[in-house]
Amino acid sequence: MPECGGIASEEDSRAGPHRRPALFFCPAGRIIPALRRREPPATPQPTTVGGFNFWGPARALVESFGMTPLSDSQLIEFSGEHLLHELSMFWELTAILPGRSPGLETSALLESWVIHLRNLIDFFCQLGRSDDVTAQDFFDTPGAWPPTTPVVLEKARGRANKELSHLTLARKSGNPPEKAWPVNELFGEIETIAKDFAAKASDRKFHAKVREFLRLPRAEARIWIHENVIHSNVIAHNFPSTPLDRDALSTATVIKRNR
């Protein structure tokens, strides 16, 4: 069997022990690609959350719970706007829906309610994805709020995904009894979890006004919303270049300033 030898370029020869010859050749004219340069292992990097660096097992734990890198003050602002939006819309829609006459507006309100239901299930009960903010982020100790989803909410979340958020074969045709959404039952599940969360979340991360809202009984909570929250719709009239621009809308939820 003919012996094979190696040829390395001048640059390769100076590259040190991590460089292999660029080509092997055999007298029979057969050329064999050589192994490429072996890169040294990368230096481990920490995961930074709220200004703190987490290494090793602590890093793995933080990443497993999907914690957001938002600071404490940013979490307070986030809960005072975006979480409050989800909660207040869900509370208000739950009160509005029962007893409504069938029609387009009722369908739109119900579908809005289902979207807010799913968002709150994801917030309180799921790990979340890389850019999601979840209930676990509002605790000083990683793992203090382990994400668990009650069976009834897991079923509702699956229905919301399959029957509303996506066009799937799981959508139900017509109006069979199993297509109805048990509004008050599902609200009660979310309310119980939300109140438990509000009692345990960190004062350094969770907005005090949202905690105040979640401590109230259901009837008083609606009064609190009317007295403390502004739901606004902004029409994009600043850019009237096309009719479409003038028809564009957005939503915003803010806490009223103390007078």
Q: What is the pLDDT of residues 101-152, one digit of tens each?
A: 999 999 999 999 999 999 999 999 999 888 899 999 999 998 999 999 999 9
C-alpha span between 163 and 158 (Å, rounded): 8
**pLDDT at residue 43 is higher than 60:** yes
C-alpha span between 45 and 57 (Å, rounded): 13
C-alpha span between 78 and 89 (Å, rounded): 16
Is residue 123 in some structural domain?
Answer: yes
- 47 CB-near residues (< 8 Å, 6+ apart): 53, 54, 59, 62, 63
Is residue 110 in some structural domain?
Answer: yes
Tell me the β-bridge partners of 7.
23
Is residue 24 in some structural domain?
Answer: no
Share of the chain above pLDDT 90, in %: 62
181-213 b/e (C-beta count within 10 Å ≥ 16 → b): bebeebbebbbebbeebbeebeeebbbebbbeb
Worst-scoring range by mean pLDDT, 18-27, 36-45, 176-185, 210-219?
18-27
Structurally, the chain folds into a number of domains equal to 1
**pLDDT at residue 11 is higher than 50:** no
- Residue that is written with structure tokens 């340069």 in the block: 37
Angle between helices 183-200 and 104-125 (to 10 degrees): 30
Is residue 149 in some structural domain?
Answer: yes
Is residue 217 in some structural domain?
Answer: yes
Is residue 32 in some structural domain?
Answer: no
Q: Which domain holds residue 155?
A: 70-255
